[in-house]
């Protein structure tokens, strides 16, 4: 939503009927996946809302800022430097040298490596790499697959039940992907002068 809003404000895109359908499908799908179809059970503390909004702004920034960088640098270089800069900045918040190293075991180190390499580095690399083939708007919409992946992983690894509302949310998100892939815009989008 932030990316589409930014592109509209900068007059770099037009809001089409397809965009409206895609945003609606993504939002409704995420709502059903994450809330079980009810606002009553949804209790989100203010710090979580604040961090969520900051995360959304950061995601919009790195999606939009990566596009011009990709014209000069390889996507792996961009992701590598982003990880180094982000790790350096966060080391002031939670210094790694003050960690409890006595709790480390070989199993924990292997889990950390898997999360760092597959859950972070490769995931972000694929995301940034996709910006060479897709627009930032399309890439961010496809990013709504992330909550679906999180819910599915809790079903398979944590044996959580997958209810009717989760199936409905899944259908909405997959429908959004189908619309994104199959429905072509009738007019070629050009920035408004």
In tens, the pLDDT along 141-176 reads 887 778 778 778 888 888 888 788 888 888 888 888
Contact 144, 29 (CB under 8 A): yes
Cα-based distances in Å from 174 to 67, 141, 162, 178, 187:
26, 11, 16, 6, 25
Contact 30, 176 (CB under 8 A): no
Sequence ranges of the domains in the chain: 2-39+46-182
Closest to 188 in 3D by CA, of 23, 35, 13: 13
Summary mean pLDDT of the chain: 83
d(CA 88, CA 80): 12
User: 């599915």: which residue's tokens?
Assistant: 152
Predicted model pTM = 0.70
In tens, the pLDDT along 8-36 reads 888 777 888 888 888 898 888 888 877 87
Q: What percent of the chain has pLDDT over 90?
A: 10
């Amino acid at each position: 939503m932030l990316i589409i809003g930014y592109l509209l404000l900068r007059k770099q895109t037009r809001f089409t009927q397809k965009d409206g359908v895609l945003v609606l499908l993504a939002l409704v799908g995420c709502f059903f996946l994450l809330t079980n179809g009810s606002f009553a059970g949804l209790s989100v503390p203010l710090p979580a809302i604040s961090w969520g909004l900051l995360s959304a702004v950061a995601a919009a920034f790195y999606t939009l800022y990566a596009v011009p960088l990709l014209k000069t640098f390889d996507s792996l270089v961009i992701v590598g430097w982003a990880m180094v800069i982000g790790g350096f900045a966060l080391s002031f918040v939670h210094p790694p040298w003050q960690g409890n190293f006595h709790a480390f075991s070989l199993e924990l180190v292997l889990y950390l490596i898997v999360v760092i390499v597959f859950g972070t580095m490769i995931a972000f690399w694929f995301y940034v790499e996709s910006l060479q083939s897709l627009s930032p708007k399309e890439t961010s919409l496809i990013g709504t697959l992330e909550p679906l992946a999180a819910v599915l992983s809790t079903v398979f690894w944590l044996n959580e039940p997958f209810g009717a509302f989760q199936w409905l949310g899944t259908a909405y998100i997959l429908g959004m992907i189908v619309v994104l892939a199959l429905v072509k815009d009738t007019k070629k989008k050009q920035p408004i002068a």
